[in-house]
Amino acid sequence: MTPRTPCVDLNADLGESFGAWTMGDDEALLAIVGRANVACGFHAGDPLVMCRTVRRARERGVAIGAHPGFPDLQGFGRRRMDLEPEELQALLIVQIGALAGVCRAEGARLAHVKPHGALNNMACADEALARTVVQAVRAFDPALPLLAPACSALERAALALGQPVLREVFADRAYQDDGQLVPRREPGAVLHDPDEAVAHVLAMLQAGGLVTRGGRVLPTPIDSVCVHGDGPQAVQTARRLREALAQRGWLASAAGAVVA
């Protein structure tokens, strides 16, 4: 069988500024990526930031996704929380609904949902939690795609429940042999060098799966590549990655068209 030619879009977590505090260079990243995962005010962002981010994404033709997380502004949504399923579903529905409302007011459309931070990491490993997350998305809109890490419990839950799913890999994170991300506290977990991140992504696309730090390949389709917008090298990494993918004919828009 002839291997499938890679064709992916780029996504970044944006809209994470809050009040007078600025996080990342959203304007620069919106000129590079095809998908924007917009914070919904619980882990980062605020109403004005949400509106401005959606507006600029719409003007750039960038697909807009809700990026809900735990209610943890101080910890940036990266601290674990143990919530009852009913409460977590309510938190997710409120956040998704808020961003969908902003999209409607700005003449845009909500294109996907991607959980943030600790919530995403926990749901990638916990089958029951993953099911709760997918059920919340499904309650809001059963046709709304979930942007989920490849080879994760979130992906499996979406497939099991019939929710559309887009599989993503991370340009700037290392993988363990079980497909989970290497914890941020461990050395080498975050790839700060843009060239290293680009090489990491190209290796996964060429291999047709996740490439772990132990050298394993976990076969999987890959639809999107994430560059975390809060890193100091985010713009440089995203720009180099876009150039490398475009040169190979592997870059698609969020709508699926190959970008020259």
Asked if pLDDT for residue 149 goes beyond 60, the answer is yes
What pLDDT is recorded for position 93?
98
Asked if pLDDT for residue 257 goes beyond 80, the answer is no
Asked if pLDDT for residue 1 goes beyond 80, the answer is no
**Domain spans, the chain:** 7-246
Secondary structure, 3-state, the chain: CCCCCCCEEEEEEECCCECCECCCCHHHHHCCCCEEEEECCCCCCCHHHHHHHHHHHHHHCCEEEEECCCCCCCCCCCCCCCCCHHHHHHHHHHHHHHHHHHHHHCCCCEEEECCCHHHHHHHHHCHHHHHHHHHHHHHHCCCCCEEEECCCHHHHHHHHHCCCEEEEEECCECECCCCCECCCCCCCCECCCHHHHHHHHHHHHHHCEEECCCCCEEECCCCEEEECCCCCCHHHHHHHHHHHHHHHCCEECCCCCECC
What pLDDT is recorded for position 259?
42
Asked if pLDDT for residue 254 goes beyond 50, the answer is yes
Q: What is the mean pLDDT of the chain?
A: 94
Asked if pLDDT for residue 173 goes beyond 50, the answer is yes
What pLDDT is recorded for position 164?
98
The predicted-structure confidence for 51-92, as pLDDT tens digits, reads as follows 999 999 999 999 999 999 999 999 999 999 999 999 999 999
What pLDDT is recorded for position 231?
76
pTM for the model stands at 0.93
Average pLDDT over residues 150-169: 98
Asked if pLDDT for residue 107 goes beyond 60, the answer is yes
Q: Does domain 7-246 have CATH number 3.20.20.370?
A: yes
pLDDT band at 3 (very low <50, low <70, confident <90, very high): low
What pLDDT is recorded for position 260?
35
What pLDDT is recorded for position 19?
93
Average pLDDT over residues 105-110: 97
Percent of the chain whose pLDDT exceeds 70: 96
The predicted-structure confidence for 44-53, as pLDDT tens digits, reads as follows 999 999 999 9
